[in-house]
Amino acid sequence: MGAAFFYQLTETPLEAALPQLLARALGAGWRIAVRGRSAEFLGQLDQRLWLGPEEGFLPHGLAGGLHDAEQPVLLTSGGEAPNGAVCVMAVESADVSAEEVKGLERVCVIFDGADQAALDHARGQWKALTDAGCEAQYWAQDGGRWVKKAEKAAS
């Protein structure tokens, strides 16, 4: 059974924090689906990831290409993961279900702590997932590092 990790961005934007989280997940040997809500947002995120530093390049692709199944990181707005992802990183207030959390290694909900709508959505997801018996952890940026602020064991 997996767990849901909530990451509240308070010091850096998604474009800076996501590569760090992706690198950790890739380091664990996981394939990842980054789930957003809109093709436009994911296209912009794709461009940002391509512009990253050469030594920190993250192999990735946008869903809908010929090589989706081979992508270690696949940016998608759908619920499917043709790359065999065992980790879903939800951005742009994309939804995740308790069934996904229970069936994957990890689900990461990444949200901007300065955006009230994103904060409210993340709180709703926390409640829905923990009420469904999922293990969850809440992390926030503090002084350039991630600090665990809360944890709820699976029930």
Averaged pLDDT, groups of 10, the chain, 155 residues long: 94 92 94 95 89 73 90 92 94 96 96 96 98 97 94 92
Q: CATH number of the domain at 3-152, please?
A: 3.40.50.10110
Give the pLDDT score at 54. Answer: 62
Q: Which residues of 4-36 are buried (b: 16+ CB within 10 A; e: fewer)?
A: bbbbbbeeeebeebbbebbeebbeeebbbbbbb
How do the domains of the chain map onto residue ranges?
A: 3-152
pTM of the model: 0.93
Tokens for 62, please give them: 């946008």
Digit-coded pLDDT (tens) for 119-155: 999 999 999 999 999 999 999 999 989 999 999 999 8
What own/partner pairs with CB < 8 Å and gap ≥ 24 does 23-26 have?
Answer: 23/56, 23/58, 25/87, 25/89, 25/106, 25/108, 26/58, 26/72, 26/73
**Is the four-CA dihedral 60, 42, 29, 86 of positive or negative sign?**
negative
Q: Give 9's strand partners.
A: 112
Quick one: pLDDT at residue 155? Answer: 85
